[in-house]
Structure 1
């Protein structure tokens, strides 16, 4: 199992465990993380699983695809560390990864 930490906009931290190979979005949904709505079910079509990856983990998650980048442009709190959780596949080297949940989703 891979340990992940989701940080709500107000600062509350949620430590969860997830299987490698699944998406970060699914880990959030499976653990009822507040602020991750995932309205499109993970098809990179809505932007409601927007997370901000802690800077030390950016290299591990990689860059967004072109379609993900276009979706992120529409999010109200887009930053250079923004990603859609549905587009991040959990890998063993991500254990301990910290992601913040913005105040607003699309």
Structure 2
């Protein structure tokens, strides 16, 4: 099965919009495994008490449908030169780790 690594923006966007009455993330999960780093989980679920899309993401994570993997960023990291959030940095590092 194809594995997709999502950052926060990708996960939230796929949870916000519906196609044929079903969230886009549910369509994606029928064909792909979705993997996120721990920072993305934190960034998304912190607002789950206020936003429906964050609630959906939290449910998918809790059910194991969206997999969370830990990532260790190296101390000296080229990503530090860009204006990226921690979730984006970890998502890039996870992609590199996956090959």
Q: TM-score, normalised by structure 2?
A: 0.31
Largest Rg, 1 or 2: 2
Considering Cα pairs closer than 8 Å and 6+ residues apart, tell me whether 1 or 2 has the greater RCO: 1
Q: TM-score, normalised by structure 1?
A: 0.30
